Amino acid sequence: MKKTFAAIWIVTLVVFTASCERDFIEDDLTGKSVSILAPADNDTVPYSSPLFWWNEMSGALKYRVQIVYPDFSAPQQLLYDTAVSGDRFYPNLNPGYTYWWRIRPENGSSEGEWVLRKLTIDSSASLASQNVQITTPQNNGYATSSSSVSFTWNAVSGASLYRVDIINSSTGTSTITLTTSTTAYTAALPQGSYEFKVRAENSVSFTPWASRTFSVDQTAPTVPQLISPATNSFYATPPATLQFDWSNDATAYNDTLWIATDSTFTSGVLIQQMLLSTQSNYTWTGAQAGTTYFWRVRSADAAGNRSNYSSVFRFTVN
């Protein structure tokens, strides 16, 4: 009986091992090549971000794409050497040049054969299908207290210049209009709300406008008004919880609450808590018997302007 169980166990182990080997052995890609769908060999295209498209291959986990100028025999520039997991790739190439590119399939243990192609980008390549990517400000609604505002964006292949337009949102008129060959600009602006727009251009075409809204805000929020605990409040016994309430300016973005045993807040500060302006209250559980406390609040807006400190309220716990 023991021999029978041993034999069964050995057969099971062999079958399991063979199954695992089948699961983990990758296809050998040696000698295999990718079937390219576009662009055709020795093609000339009128746009600087052409579609590289191919049929996916069984056993391939990625596709190695390399692009050089002027050719692989004597390359002056290696523009791309990247692994693509899907069946297409969009490089950015300068108009008016001829490039060589190649592709091969790869997995973790083998790689296929290179397929070589030649491609020319028409010197009058249109920018209409490309987009300018603004890097700063990163988001719409950006606010700053500085009158000096910096703008940056990514370069667009084939562009000879960038057109910048800064519009006053209140009046709808252009405050600044200019062209530049760089991808950065710093403007001096008075307080107000604005829209920054930029597009890339060459002699025959231009991209769509990219834009960001922003504001220059140099006005501080009004001083918060304390509500409770009212000043000179007295508690006969230490409260289990004590709620602080105040009102703030509609422009406030956050409020900072201080609770201290020192009326000047230079020492004995127990709480210094920043809260979103929508939460104009705070619950505290630290009140101790035989102690006088002082509290105040200060607001700040999204641009970083800070209000003056509120009045200082005091309360005593018996």
What residue spans define the domains of the chain? 36-125, 134-216, 225-317
Say yes or no to pLDDT of 159 above 50.
yes
Q: Is 36-125 in CATH node 2.60.40.10?
A: yes
Say yes or no to pLDDT of 127 above 90.
no
Question: What average pLDDT does this structure show over 219-226?
Answer: 96
Question: Within 10 Å of residue 54's Cβ, how many Cβ atoms?
Answer: 21
Question: Within 10 Å of residue 151's Cβ, how many Cβ atoms?
Answer: 20
Which secondary structure element, helix H or strand E, spans residue 20, and what is its range?
helix 2-24
Distances (CA, A) of 86 to 35, 60, 64, 69, 109: 14, 10, 11, 24, 19
Say yes or no to pLDDT of 18 above 70.
no
- β strands within 127-222, DSSP E: 134-136, 142-144, 148-153, 161-168, 174-180, 184-188, 192-201, 210-216
Nearest to 195 by CA among 164, 153, 159: 164
pTM of the model: 0.56
| pLDDT tens for each residue of 46-63 | 878 899 999 999 999 999
Distance in angstroms between the alpha carbons of the first and the last residue of the chain: 86
Question: What is residue 201's predicted lDDT score, i.e. its pLDDT?
Answer: 94
Fold agreement between 36-125 and 225-317: yes
Say yes or no to pLDDT of 174 above 70.
yes
Question: What is residue 123's predicted lDDT score, i.e. its pLDDT?
Answer: 72
Contact 167, 175 (CB under 8 A): yes
User: What CA–CA distance (Å, rounded) separates 83 from 67?
Assistant: 12
User: What CA–CA distance (Å, rounded) separates 244 from 239?
Assistant: 13
| pLDDT tens for each residue of 285-301 | 999 999 999 999 999 99
| pLDDT tens for each residue of 227-261 | 999 999 999 999 999 999 999 999 999 999 999 99
Tokens (6 digits) for 27: 């296809």
Most confidently predicted of 137-141, 204-208, 223-227:
223-227
Question: What is residue 14's predicted lDDT score, i.e. its pLDDT?
Answer: 46
Q: Which CATH number fits domain 225-317: 2.60.40.10, 2.40.10.10, 3.40.50.1370, 2.20.25.160?
A: 2.60.40.10
Q: For the chain, what is the radius of gyration of the CA atoms?
A: 34
Question: Within 10 Å of residue 184's Cβ, how many Cβ atoms?
Answer: 12
Buried b (16+ CB within 10 A) or exposed e, 214-241: bbbbeebbebbebeebeeeeebeeeeee
- CATH architecture for the domain at 134-216: Sandwich (2.60)
Question: What is residue 259's predicted lDDT score, i.e. its pLDDT?
Answer: 97
Tell me whether the omega of the peptide bond preceding residue 70 falls within 30 degrees of 0, making it cis. yes
Tokens (6 digits) for 202: 């060459």
